[in-house]
Chains A and B, each alone.
Chain A
């Protein structure tokens, strides 16, 4: 039985993995395929997308038309359960920045974690993104290069299935060709951007998302990913055959019952379970890594949320993938006489340099898109096209007041009407009601586009997590205290987003729906809003300057690794999930090598 409990677990295990999202799912997959016996511990409940995803449900079937509420922060049908901006019984403390904004922390306590609802946007970091300090003198370089990670980007794209275009632009690599699935056809509003953006010098590329736009090639991919490992090849081929390609309908964020997009629960965990090497305990809140006399990790302690009992499991290797800040919390709470400041923290850097993504958005109404004939524009749920960063030279020559770039996530179309679709249209309708309002609704439906800027953040000393001296969660475990501060660079970058999007709206013949924000302190979304939580156990070139090394292994504890975004010393504008998976696969290969050599 792969789903076990504290009393039926079959330890000691080769590897204990804490968490079940992108990083942990990838680690479980890679390790189990190589014959490693793994126990995965997930803080939330078991979750089964095949039966729990409300794919075709319409808003009128949900309470409040599916509107977001304090119980379901991103709408009733969002896949996230038992999570969101607040988790029952599991508080945290957020210290406001100097303008009163504070970091909000999205957590998903469920099998698969945040991979169940994420946007599926899958961008590779480019060569500059791994060596930012070498390029402009700010922040930290990674101890690895793009070339170290590129083979793992190839593998992850082949495994999970990512659509995109094969065009590479400066610092926007596309891989060697053949790793991406065909992108969806652009919809009308995409063609509008494709026509006008280039006139402003702004490139438009096919989007990249982890959605199967056609069935995966189960004949050749398993052999490429697991050369010489026939059992793994067979398991993967079977798993790929069970995934359906996209149905060109329903929002990915509700979860996908047919596994057409990537979720850890549909792509990583099923083949890992099929190896027979994976056991999973759900409702297991890990709070401490235990160590032996030699300082090596011996296992983890957790609270069984179903019984309230504190339990211990042991393993040769411990991999933390609890989410970047939760991983930092576990390490900081793993105090002992040997490690009074927490485990793996001889540098004092556990919890330091936390990062999110700079976010700023503009939407616009486009007269050309009014009163279009009926069109099915569900496509693959968005991002048929996107804008990669295009001003690298201007960054470098200081022509811009900020050093790093952003990309633009763009969308529009006639999507299923929701409770907010026709709210606040007075500025267009003059306050119509009656038959005129219905005519206006038909006219303006589908005539809006949005531009979401997603930008790089330079690490700073004022953004960090620590253990709150007083507050504990309902299980008695000390909680995080999160300090957050955007730097000037991020704020100026957000203003640039606003101005650029205003210019794009105008070029497309549109009107922005709210004024362009030019105040740097107001243009950037609060920390945490983008849910690109990385940093806190950063990787680096030395034990003094970082928590983890080039293999995501903690410097201090040789059998302790970090599989989540905690290892990021820098958050480029590229959404982090694909890189988390690539680094986790690379880390897992390294663990297998070291275990085979009996080094850990």
Chain B
């Protein structure tokens, strides 16, 4: 008989079996399913509750402006704890949860589009696995664990290429969640400041890099 933890592992292994996010060069392996059906009919299927093909591009949107959000209070706690393990506050910038990453991820996994539906399965199952794992170790939900205990769990799944075979599903989940946390964080003002991104401002002229830098790099 399969216990619940094993079942969750299997479920998220399936949900997380997605193409790697590294830049693709091999086009054939990235074709849409059904691409080899004879005479594919390309028919636009409007996505219910999506923002449609002609949204107002100029206005700023609140999270959840287009579709209802998903996470309950307990899941939000877990989401925040995990995001902050991945992107904690440091001397450069605040933590992920402090700049709205939980809301970003909630909006993401609640969206009606195929990629986001896929990530939703991975994230919700991953949350369930983390709580099961935490209960198993310390009889507490993941969000309530000491940071050292949380890290002890995450250390085993933070790199899929090193994770044991039976933890490949959770490792794929962790990779997805780290991608989403980074996506949410580095697209905010705080994230841009952390990276010292100084563009997106109107300039009267563009000078290129300082010659001293080019010299230092051996490029001038």
Contact = CB atoms under 8 A, between A and B. Distances in A.
A92 B59 CA distance: 33
Given A61-B61, A63-B111, A88 B208 contact: no
Interface string B176-220: 001100111011110110111111111101111100011001111
A339 interface: no
Q: Which 7 A-B pairs have the closest CB atoms?
A: A431-B159, A185-B208, A424-B21, A100-B36, A86-B44, A419-B183, A61-B60
A526 interface: yes
A435 B28 CA distance: 38
Contacts, number: 298
A524 B27 contact: yes
A72 interface: yes
Contacts of B39: 93-95, 481
Contacts of A517: 25-26
A57 B187 contact: no
A301 interface: no
A571 B156 CA distance: 52
Contacts of B25: 360-362, 498, 514-517, 523
Contacts of B207: 185
Q: Chain B contact residues (Cβ within 8 angstroms of A): what range?
A: 35 or more
The interface residues of chain B, by DSSP majority, are classed as loop
A304 to B, nearest CB: 18
B161 A88 contact: no
Interface string A42-86: 000100000111101111111111110111100011000111111
A105 B90 CA distance: 47
A76 B90 CA distance: 31
B195 A376 contact: no
A50 to B, nearest CB: 11
A522 B188 contact: no
B85 A521 contact: no
Contacts of A83: 53
Nearest to A246: B206
A378 B194 contact: no
Contacts of B202: 247-249
A249 B201 contact: yes
Given A61-B60, A71-B52, A96 B47 contact: no
The interface residues of chain A, by DSSP majority, are classed as loop
Contacts of B188: 60
A478 B160 CA distance: 50
A516 B214 CA distance: 29
Contacts of A85: 42
A421 B181 CA distance: 12
A424 B179 contact: yes
Nearest to A416: B200
B42 A93 contact: yes
A334 to B, nearest CB: 23
A547 interface: no
Contacts of A514: 22-26
B20 interface: yes
Contact of A526 (B31, B41, B199): B31
Given A415-B199, A521-B28, A423 B21 contact: yes
A69 B113 contact: yes
A400 interface: no
A198 to B, nearest CB: 13
Contacts of A58: 187, 189, 192, 200
A369 B107 CA distance: 34
